[in-house]
Amino acid sequence: MDPLISILKNWSFLGGGQVMSSLLGVIFTVAISRALGDVEFGRLYLALTLTSLVGVLCDFGLGQVIIRTVARDRALARSYFQRAAIVVGVFGTGLYLLLLVFVEALGFTSEIFSLVLILGLLMVVDAFSQILGALFLAHERMLVPAVSRVAGNAVGLVLVLPILLAGHATAAVGIVIVVAGCVRLLIQAVAVRRLPGLQLPTHAAPAWPVMLRAGVPFVVAQGLGLFVFKIDVVVLGRMSTEATVGWYAAASRVVDSFNFIPIVLTMATFPVLSRLWVEAPTEFQATARRTLHVLLAVTIPASVILFVLARDIVGFLFTLSSYGPAVPILRIQAMSLALIFIDYLLVCALMAIGRERVWIAIIGAACVLNPVLNWLLIPQAQTAYANGALGAALATLLTEMFILTCALRAIPRGTFTFESLWTAGRVAALGALLGVSLFGERALGVPWILAAAVGSIGYVAAAMRFGVLPPSAIAWARDAFLAGPRKIMQRRVSERATGKKATESAPGVEAA
């Protein structure tokens, strides 16, 4: 099977689940942001950021080790999982206690401390979910992780609505978020026993030093990466108001709802690229290149729609009266989104070929650059526009430009060619036309949701017409969404006809 088709199939499973999960997540965010207000919502977002900064270390990078190792030898699944579970239990508990000391030492308010006390449990639960999910990804079985995420978000939404209506405090919302994480973990734990790798004779357990050393580059890369992408919230919380954090949180949650696109694509891509790098390096380059082209075709319209329709989106979801300052923040983040999408794939490729240390060097430099930019730009934006979050958003955009430049230089030569540059240029031109279309439709009074739908359909048609997408991807999409349902209907008609003939010819039917 074409590796790109394998990636797209896995992406479709994960993507379908993530679309539902993101939709439920957006509804959840809108509900709590409106009910809590910008100040309380800012506190909740700050507490979630603090726990995520520490929580990324809980699995010690062993989730990625499991994916890469088990994708190559499934008989290692049980031994690696058992060792990883022990690490998460011990390491996660220690990090939870360290987090509480850290928050107290930084002098955050008692409200923030109480929220971290609750949400800190989520980082341990999520770490267990990650190593379970890694087993599914290594087997290229994407359905259970997708279903578990949808179910967890659905449970969270069902539980939080009556809590908000009853006027309970933000702490109750934090408890609901932890419960939703437990639901995700439970579903994966029940289903994981069916994986083929766990049924095979177990290889000798890896030596602890060997396994932990393999995880070090991943945990360092993950920790530094999250530091770069989340430290702006912490700096903003210390240098500006909680309401400003709330505006930044509103815009960030809109952008985050699109992050499932590169996340699930790289989750589906990582085991495939890891295998191809060992088995067929030339096929690795071709697959990485075509995957980038698919990602570019999806990235540009998402960024353009968010940029042009930012005011309509914020007003619809959060109300302009409370979250109006989030509009320019969202426009800057929309530009960052395109770079973030591409960076996800580049990092995935570096990890798949074992160049974690190169990525660590890149993200380490970004860890210095990003806080400095935030420290410089947040006060200036606060003084000039009474909105320090604009500075934080601009710092992220500049940091993503730096990461993209460095990551492209680190990818093996020949992976991305002039064909990729030509595809990027055509996609950018189509994106510009989409932007003009959206501006024109809004000027004519077309409702923004309808304008986005019409513009997206036109973009897809143009992308297919001008050959932006790889032919194999177009053929797969046509087969999956058009031929697939038709074949199912034809099979059902055939089965009914066969059943009817069998009944008519069966002995004794007429006598009965």
pLDDT band of residue 313 (cuts 50, 70, 90) is: very high
Q: Is 491 a domain residue?
A: no
Residue type, 68: R
Mean pLDDT, rounded, for 398-416? 88
Please state, in angstroms and rounded to a whole number, the distance separating the CA atoms of residues 257 and 265.
15
Residue 484 confidence (pLDDT): 47
Residue type, 62: L
Q: Is 497 a domain residue?
A: no
Residue 369 confidence (pLDDT): 93
Please state, in angstroms and rounded to a whole number, the distance separating the CA atoms of residues 55 and 260.
19
For residue 506, pLDDT beyond 70: no
For residue 240, pLDDT beyond 90: no
- Cβ neighbours of residue 465 under 8 Å, at least 6 residues apart? none
CA distances from residue 485 to 16, 64, 400, 471, 480 in whole angstroms, order as listed: 16, 36, 41, 21, 8
Closest CA to 289 of 413, 405, 401, 426: 413
**Sign of torsion over alpha carbons 395, 323, 264, 193:** positive
Q: Which of these ranges, 76-85, 134-143, 375-384, 471-480, has the smallest mean pLDDT? A: 471-480
Angle at 206 between CA 204 and CA 209, to 5 degrees: 150
Average pLDDT, the chain: 81
Closest CA to 314 of 300, 329, 303, 301: 329
Range of the domain at 272: 3-477
pLDDT band of residue 334 (cuts 50, 70, 90) is: very high
Q: What share of the chain in percent tops pLDDT 90?
A: 16
CA distances from residue 7 to 14, 21, 140, 197, 408 in whole angstroms, order as listed: 10, 20, 9, 20, 22
Q: Best-predicted range by mean pLDDT among 408-412, 467-471, 505-509?
A: 408-412
For residue 179, pLDDT beyond 70: yes
Q: Is 226 a domain residue?
A: yes
State the total domains in the chain. 1
- pLDDT, one tens digit per residue, over 255-273 is 887 777 777 677 677 777 7
Mean pLDDT, rounded, for 427-454? 90
pLDDT band of residue 183 (cuts 50, 70, 90) is: very high
Q: What share of the chain in percent tops pLDDT 70?
A: 86
Please state, in angstroms and rounded to a whole number, the distance separating the CA atoms of residues 58 and 426.
42
**Sign of torsion over alpha carbons 451, 452, 454, 459:** positive
Please state, in angstroms and rounded to a whole number, the distance separating the CA atoms of residues 120 and 279.
41
Please state, in angstroms and rounded to a whole number, the distance separating the CA atoms of residues 397 and 377.
12
Please state, in angstroms and rounded to a whole number, the distance separating the CA atoms of residues 162 and 180.
15
Residue 306's CB: how many other CB atoms inside 10 A?
23
Q: How would DSSP label each residue in 394-441? A: HHHHHHHHHHHHHHHHHSPTTSS-HHHHHHHHHHHHHHHHHHHHHHHH
For residue 288, pLDDT beyond 60: yes
- pLDDT, one tens digit per residue, over 339-372 is 888 888 888 888 888 787 888 888 889 989 999 9
Query: Does the pTM of the predicted model rise above 0.75?
Result: no
Structure tokens at 250: 């509103």
What is the DSSP secondary structure assignment for residue 75, as one 8-state letter? Answer: G
Q: Which of these ranges, 68-72, 312-316, 338-342, 447-451, has the smallest mean pLDDT? A: 68-72
Closest CA to 342 of 400, 271, 280, 284: 400
What is the DSSP secondary structure assignment for residue 387, as one 8-state letter? Answer: -
Residue 333 confidence (pLDDT): 92
Q: Best-predicted range by mean pLDDT among 107-116, 141-150, 173-182?
A: 173-182
Is residue 107 left, alpha or beta, with left meaning phi > 0 and alpha meaning psi from -120 to 50? left
3-class SS at 185?
A: helix
Q: Is 498 a domain residue?
A: no
3-class SS at 339?
A: helix
Q: Is 149 a domain residue?
A: yes
Residue 276 confidence (pLDDT): 79
Please state, in angstroms and rounded to a whole number, the distance separating the CA atoms of residues 272 and 275.
5
Q: Which residue has the higher pLDDT, 200 or 308?
A: 308
pLDDT band of residue 485 (cuts 50, 70, 90) is: very low
Residue 53's CB: how many other CB atoms inside 10 A?
20
For residue 486, pLDDT beyond 60: no
Determine contact, residues 332/308, Cβ cutoff 8 Å.
no
Residue 485's CB: how many other CB atoms inside 10 A?
10
Please state, in angstroms and rounded to a whole number, the distance separating the CA atoms of residues 194 and 188.
11
For residue 46, pLDDT beyond 60: yes
pLDDT band of residue 424 (cuts 50, 70, 90) is: confident
CA distances from residue 170 to 5, 34, 115, 242, 345 in whole angstroms, order as listed: 44, 12, 8, 14, 36
Residue with tokens 């790289």: 266
Torsion angle defined by CA atoms of residues 123, 239, 374 and 384, in that order, rounded to the nearest 10 degrees: 140
Closest CA to 102 of 139, 147, 57: 57
Q: Is 375 a domain residue?
A: yes
Please state, in angstroms and rounded to a whole number, the distance separating the CA atoms of residues 180 and 156.
5
Residue 5 confidence (pLDDT): 55
For residue 509, pLDDT beyond 80: no
Closest CA to 28 of 163, 133, 137: 163
Residue type, 309: L
Q: Is 405 a domain residue?
A: yes
Q: Is 504 a domain residue?
A: no
